[in-house]
C-alpha cells in the first residue's frame, strides 16, 4: 500500500484534495479525519500539517507527500521535489515600510520576522549578511507595526496583505514556490506504485492545461493546419468521405485554443470543435 501525506489545513489542503479526487482517489469526507485507506487504489492517505510533511517523508515512514516548495526548503528535511503541481503559487520576499531597505545587504544588524526561519537564515548566510531572525507563527505583517522587527520575510501572492499593512517588498525574490510532490532523497524512483501515482497526477495536470481540438480541412491546407496544432506527439489525421478533405484531431493548450481556432478558420478549416479532457495518461 502506497502511503501518501496530504496537507490537512491551509492554502494547500483544498486544492490538493481536489487534485487527488480528480486523479480518482478517495478523499476524506470531513476535515477531522486524519487518515483514510482507499482500498481500490491501494493507497493510504495521512492528513498532516503542511509544515510537518517533509519531515514525515524524509523519515521514510511515508512514501510521498504533497507540500509547498518553500515549506520543504524551510524544513531542511532530507526530501526532494519530484513533481510540481501548479497550485498555491507564491513568491517569498522581504518587505518593510517604504524606505527602510533596498536589498538584503541593508539588513546587517537588523531584525527580520518570519514563519520561515530556515529559508531566511539560509538566504542571509548565503548573502553574507549578519541579521537576527525572529520566528512568528503567522500574521507576520503586523510584526513591524508592533515593533517586533523592522523587516519581514513572508509568502506573497497578490500583495494584498502587504498593502493592507502599509509595507512594500524590496530586493530580489528569495524564492518562488508552488505545491509539489516530494519523496525521501535518494528513494527508489522506479517504484511502480510511486510511478503510477505520479502518472495519475500528471494526467490531471494535462487534463487541466489542454483541450482536444477536432476540425476538418482540405488536404492542400493540412501542412499549415498541422503546424498550428502539432499535438503532443503528432495529430491524428483521418480521411473524410468527401474526397480532398481530412479530419484532424490534436491536443492544444487550453489558453491558446481560441487563437488557434481563429487561425485554423483563416486557412479554411471548418467544423472546428474543442472538448474538455477529463483524464489522461501521456
Ligand X SMILES: O=P(O)(O)OC[C@H]1O[C@H](OP(=O)(O)OP(=O)(O)O)[C@H](O)[C@@H]1O
From the list Mg ion, ligand ATP, ligand X, none, pick the one residue 154 interacts with, judged by a Cβ distance below 5 to 8 Å according to partner type: ligand X
In whole angstroms, the minimum distance from the beta carbon of 94 to ligand X comes to 13
CB of 247 to ligand ATP, least distance (A): 42
Residue 114 within binding range of ligand ATP, rule CB under 6 A? no
- Enumerate the β-bridge partners of residue 216: 247, 270
Binding mask 71-110 for ligand ATP (x = CB under 6 A): x----------------x-x--------------------
Closest by CA to 63, choosing from 48, 47, 45, is 45
Can you tell me which of 39, 109, 138, 192 binds ligand ATP, judged by CB under 6 A?
Answer: 138
Q: Rounded to an integer, what distance in angstroms lies between the CA atom of residue 201 and that of residue 207? A: 10
Kindly give, in sequence order, each residue whose CB lies less than 8 Å from that of residue 81, ignoring residues fewer than 6 positions away.
69, 72, 180, 181, 182
**If you write DSSP's letter for every residue of 125-175 in order, what string do you get?**
HHHT---EEEE-SS-TTHHHHTTS-SEEEEEESSSHHHHHTT-EEEEEEEE
Edge-first strand order for the sheet with 245-253 is 236-239, 245-253, 210-218, 270-276
Q: Does 251 help bind ligand X (rule: CB under 6 A)?
A: no
* 156 interacts with ligand X by CB under 6 A: yes
- Residues in contact with ligand ATP, total (CB under 6 A)? 15
Of residues 151 through 190, those in contact with ligand ATP by CB under 6 A are: 155, 157, 177
Identify whether the C-beta of residue 1 lies closer than 8 Å to the C-beta of residue 197. no
Least Å from the CB of residue 134 to ligand ATP: 17
Residue closer to ligand ATP (CB basis): 65 or 68? 68
Binding residues vs ligand X (CB under 6 A): 138-141, 154-161
Amino acid at each position: 500500500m502506497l502511503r501518501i501525506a496530504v496537507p490537512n489545513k491551509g492554502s494547500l489542503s483544498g486544492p490538493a484534495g481536489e487534485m487527488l479526487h480528480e486523479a480518482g482517489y478517495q478523499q476524506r469526507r470531513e476535515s477531522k479525519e486524519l487518515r483514510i485507506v482507499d482500498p481500490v487504489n491501494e493507497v493510504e492517505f495521512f492528513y498532516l500539517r503542511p509544515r510537518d510533511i517533509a519531515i514525515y517523508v524524509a523519515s521514510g515512514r511515508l512514501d510521498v507527500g504533497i507540500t509547498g516548495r518553500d515549506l520543504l526548503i524551510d524544513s531542511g528535511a532530507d526530501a526532494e521535489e519530484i513533481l510540481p503541481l501548479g497550485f498555491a503559487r507564491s513568491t517569498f520576499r522581504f518587505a518593510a515600510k517604504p524606505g527602510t531597505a533596498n536589498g538584503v545587504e541593508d539588513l546587517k544588524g537588523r531584525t527580520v520576522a518570519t514563519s520561515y526561519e530556515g529559508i531566511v537564515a539560509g538566504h542571509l548566510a548565503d548573502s553574507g549578511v549578519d541579521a537576527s531572525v525572529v520566528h512568528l507563527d503567522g500574521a507576520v505583517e503586523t510584526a513591524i507595526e508592533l515593533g517586533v522587527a523592522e523587516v519581514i520575510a513572508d509568502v506573497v501572492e497578490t500583495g494584498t496583505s502587504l498593502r493592507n499593512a502599509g509595507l512594500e517588498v524590496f530586493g530580489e525574490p528569495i524564492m518562488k514556490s508552488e505545491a509539489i510532490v516530494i519523496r525521501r532523497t535518494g528513494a527508489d524512483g522506479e517504484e511502480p506504485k510511486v510511478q503510477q501515482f505520479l502518472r495519475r497526477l500528471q494526467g490531471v495536470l494535462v487534463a487541466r492545461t489542454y483541450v482536444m481540438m477536432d476540425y476538418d480541412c482540405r488536404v492542400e491546407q493540412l501542412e499549415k493546419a498541422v503546424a498550428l496544432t502539432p499535438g503532443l506527439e503528432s495529430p491524428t489525421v483521418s480521411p473524410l468521405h468527401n474526397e480532398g478533405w481530412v479530419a484532424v484531431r490534436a491536443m492544444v493548450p487550453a489558453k491558446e485554443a481560441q487563437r488557434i481556432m481563429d487561425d485554423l478558420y483563416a486557412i479554411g478549416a471548418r467544423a472546428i470543435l474543442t472538448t474538455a479532457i477529463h483524464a489522461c495518461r501521456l
